[in-house]
Amino acid sequence: MTISVVPAAGLGKRLKSGTKDVPKALVTIAGKPMVGWVMEALEQTPIVDGIVLVVPSSHRSEFERCCQALALCKPVWLVEGGEDRQQSVWRGLQALPSGTEWVIVHDAARPLVTPALLIAVWEAAREIGSAAIAALPCPDTVKRSLDGVLIAETLDRQQIWLAQTPQVFAADLLLAAHEKALSDGFTATDDATLVERMGAPIRLVMGEPTNLKVTYPADLLLAEALLQGRQQKGSCNFEANSPSPC
């Protein structure tokens, strides 16, 4: 069984979504809350059996209403998140139903994820037996600086990959990695970093350039344009993998 954990408990401070008290995942993009796009992509991905949605405790009821409006066929478990992303994923992992073999972690902040990418990463993780993540080769020349003023060195960009979600892990490996991080007091901004510390192999899967993370206001405009374009094309990305109605 494969369950997706969707961290959506951030408040989106860098997005500055106006004066409204709306957490980032509930900000509307192309007529739908950001998290709604993610949930629908997961619904339309046959390998996903259920979704653990991690939400801010301050806005639980709004997320409940959002899920009701989506009326998904797959089971959704709502869990309250923690202080940072890692804590939120950890809480999500505590809610995994027994029998979960594979976990797909996907941020609510990446509303453009497609079933094709979710399946590609899942297949790669299963093939290698441990984990895989979506990532993009770095298009820019990369400088390292110790102080943000002077360049210390130029890195070989052929060795640099920009991590995205989805990230897929064997459930027991991801749980062990989080437990170790917790006991070591180690924090990171993605789950692969925690699994790297376990020494387990993690495959890179070519991500999608459109699978952007909404962080700043300009990202919102870009995501809106891309999702509108996708809607106009009749959601062709999703149709090939659509399951039959439940």
Binding footprint of ligand CTP on the chain (CB under 6 A): 7-15, 24-25, 54, 81-85, 88, 107-109, 213, 215
Residue 7 near residue 95, CB atoms below 8 Å: no
Give the shortest CB-155-to-Mg ion separation in angstroms. Answer: 25
Q: Taking CB within 5 to 8 Å according to partner kind, which of Mg ion, ligand CTP, none is near residue 230? A: none
Going from the C-alpha of 197 to that of each of 5, 130, 156, 168, 193, the distances in angstroms are 21, 13, 23, 16, 7
Residue 167 near residue 132, CB atoms below 8 Å: yes
Give the shortest CB-88-to-Mg ion separation in angstroms. Answer: 10
Q: Give the residue nearest to ligand CTP (CB).
A: 10
Give the shortest CB-119-to-ligand CTP separation in angstroms. Answer: 21
Sole window of 10-18, 48-56, 91-99, 138-146 interacting with Mg ion (rule: CB under 5 A): 10-18
Residue 182 near residue 90, CB atoms below 8 Å: yes
Q: Which is nearer to ligand CTP, 70 or 128 (CB)?
A: 70
Give the shortest CB-129-to-ligand CTP separation in angstroms. Answer: 27
Q: Which is nearer to ligand CTP, 28 or 242 (CB)?
A: 28
Q: Taking CB within 5 to 8 Å according to partner kind, which of ligand CTP, Mg ion, none is near residue 109? A: ligand CTP
Instruction: Report the alpha-carbon distance of residue 10 to residue 56 in Å, rounded.
Output: 7
Q: Which is nearer to Mg ion, 10 or 82 (CB)?
A: 10
Residue 74 near residue 49, CB atoms below 8 Å: yes
Q: Which is nearer to Mg ion, 87 or 210 (CB)?
A: 87
Residue 202 near residue 130, CB atoms below 8 Å: yes
Instruction: Report the alpha-carbon distance of residue 23 to residue 16 in Å, rounded.
Output: 10
Which residue carries 């959704």 as its tokens?
76
Which residue carries 């925690």 as its tokens?
194
Three-class SS state of 77: strand
**44: amino acid identity, one letter:** Q
Give the shortest CB-132-to-ligand CTP separation in angstroms. Answer: 19
Residue 204 near residue 133, CB atoms below 8 Å: yes
Q: Which is nearer to ligand CTP, 67 or 108 (CB)?
A: 108
Give the shortest CB-93-to-ligand CTP separation in angstroms. Answer: 12
Q: Which is nearer to ligand CTP, 56 or 115 (CB)?
A: 56
Number of residues that bind Mg ion (CB under 5 A): 1
What is the contact surface with Mg ion in residues (CB under 5 A)?
Answer: 10
